[in-house]
Amino acid sequence: MKKLISVLLSVVMVAALITGCGAGGSASGAKKVGVSMPTKDLQRWNQDGANMEKELKAAGYEVDLQFAANDVQQQLSQVENMISNGCSVLVIAAIEGSSLGEALDMAKKANIPVIAYDRLIMDSDAVSYYATFDNYKVGTVQGTYVKDTLDLDNAEGPFNIEFTAGDPGDNNAGFFFNGAYDVLKPYVESGKLNVVSGQKTFDEVATPSWATETAQSRAENILSSFYADGTNVDVWLCSNDSTALGVENALAANYNGSYPIITGQDCDIENTKNMIAGKQSMSVFKDTRTLASQVVKMVGQIIKGETVDVNDTSTYNNNVKVVPSFLCEPVFADANNYKQILIDSGYYTEDQLK
């Protein structure tokens, strides 16, 4: 009888090794981590995905990295497959914050922790943690740059300003816009900053999918409607680089006045080249290597059953719960410091920016 039990135990152990030692394992015994990115169409998500995969593999995990082509149903299907294929932890940058309910329900039933990556996942209690940059601060950095560059506290003014915000389906977009607008609101209300188009609420200035073409089309309409008579636009506050690029394209084709201050975010290569060329004033830099490293650390802490690092337990309410979060610090790059911020740090090479 003892010999039979021993044989049976040996069979079970071999089977466990073959199947990856249960849920979340692989044939090699490494824990599997699912990483879902929204699209390959924006440079930053390619970099985020690559950084995440590199860091996780270096830490000894198997990685299932998927890009969803900005298609909500495709992302939903990919995440469901990650769950079915035995991922131990999911890291998800959602296309739309409220679009993944079915997959998150599956993850919760399977006891798979979910880290929302850079974009908060809304309306679900299955979100375990949120890792991002301080999104409100991203906006305040942009707003403060405009305030300081125009010397709004001392300059006589008035100055003309327009706003281009991000995707209404991205929870971060509201934080970016509100952070910037809260800095500039006193000057708008006093008349020192004049929104010539009158478009100054988030809903009026939002850009679905952060699309460059959509931002360009709206900017062209504003320029033809309000600036064709020679009126100067002094500032165009854009929440990120893809929307800034659209505004820059519109200005190149439809504007002959003094070139405005233009803000951005992500330090994409084309936008950094525009900064060097004087076509964009600044871009908030969120070093995705820093965020990837933090998320890898959090994944390891989850898998090992350790306390997970967070530094914010009050700000990010997803309509169901306040999600424990880790916020990385953003900085900005411009023509004066881009070499130090982007090249000396190894983020880009000189050749990439030629």
Give the pLDDT of residue 47. 87
Cβ count near 270 (within 10 Å) = 16
| pLDDT, tens digit (0-9, with 9 covering 90-100), for 42-100 | 878 988 999 889 999 999 999 999 999 999 999 999 999 999 999 999 999 999 888 89
Judge whether residue 13 has pLDDT over 70. no
User: What does the block give as tokens for 93?
Assistant: 């940058």
Backbone angles phi, psi at 162, to 5 degrees: -130, 155
Give the pLDDT of residue 9. 36
All structural domains of the chain with their residue ranges? 16-127+287-328, 135-286
> Cα 152 vs. chain centroid, distance in angstroms?
30
| Domains 16-127+287-328 and 135-286 alike in fold | yes
| pLDDT, tens digit (0-9, with 9 covering 90-100), for 239-265 | 999 999 999 999 999 999 999 999 999
| pLDDT, tens digit (0-9, with 9 covering 90-100), for 21-44 | 334 454 446 799 999 999 988 878
Cβ count near 128 (within 10 Å) = 20
Q: What percent of the chain has pLDDT over 70?
A: 92
Give the pLDDT of residue 171. 87
Please give the average per-residue pLDDT across 195-207, as a whole number. 98
Query: Which neighbouring-strand residues pair with 89?
Result: 33
DSSP letters spanning 213-226: HHHHHHHHHHHHHH
Give the pLDDT of residue 334. 97
Block residue for tokens 């942009």: 142
Per-residue pLDDT band at 11 (split at 50, 70, 90): very low
Domain 16-127+287-328 listed as CATH 3.40.50.2300: yes
| pLDDT, tens digit (0-9, with 9 covering 90-100), for 90-142 | 999 999 888 898 899 999 999 999 999 999 999 999 999 999 999 999 999 99
Fold of the domain built from segment(s) 135-286: Rossmann fold (3.40.50)
* Strand arrangement of the beta sheet that strand 159-164 belongs to: 193-194, 159-164, 235-238, 261-262
Please give the average per-residue pLDDT across 152-172, as a whole number. 95
Judge whether residue 4 has pLDDT over 90. no
Report the greatest alpha carbon distance in the chain. Answer: 96
CA-closest candidate to residue 91, choices 23, 134, 37: 37
Cα–Cα distance measured from residue 187 to residue 207, given in angstroms and rounded to the nearest whole number: 24
Give the pLDDT of residue 98. 87
Quote the mean pLDDT of the chain.
90
